[in-house]
Amino acid sequence: MGMIDRCLQEWRISTKGKAMRDGLTKNTAWAAAAAAGLALALAPAGLAQTNRYVVKGNAGANPPFTTWTDAAATIQDAISACSSGDVVWVRAATYDEGGVTNWPAGSVLTSRVAVTTAYVTVRS
């Protein structure tokens, strides 16, 4: 199974039909997976890496979220603070908040994560 097929399979598992109700289609998911695969394949060697951290509901969240003490309260906050090559470390929890407005244009994503910076890695 290729990388795009694995991304699509993960998309099907993670959305459980929500994406279809939100107006996304399998073709949209395939295009996003293909773009992500291409971005990874073309990532320049030697990108500077900053570790950013997420702790659900962290009252002490303080950008740029580079320590566990200053960790972002939502995954989206940490991703939005990223530059290419950064890694977002997520403490185990159920993250049901976050998202972005007007991405893609004209939509509102809630309880979702939009990776809007190329070459960002999210780990748990």
- The C-alpha atoms of residue 114 and residue 99 are separated, in whole angstroms, by 7
98-109 pLDDT tens trace: 777 777 777 777
User: Position of tokens 């906050």?
Assistant: 77
pLDDT confidence of residue 99 = 76
Residues 14-22 have a mean pLDDT of 47
Residues 6+ apart with CB under 8 A from 117: 79, 82, 83, 84, 86
Q: Is 87 helix (H, G, I), strand (E, B) or coil?
A: strand
pLDDT confidence of residue 54 = 96
The percent of residues in the chain predicted with pLDDT above 90, rounded, is 31
User: pTM for the complete prediction?
Assistant: 0.59
Query: How many residues does this entry show for the chain?
Result: 124
Confidence check: pLDDT of 32 > 60: no
**Angle CA 37–41–42, to nearest 5:** 120
Confidence check: pLDDT of 122 > 80: yes
Query: Which tops the pLDDT comparison, 100 or 43?
Result: 100
66-85 pLDDT tens trace: 999 999 999 989 999 999 89
**Angle CA 118–97–65, to nearest 5:** 55
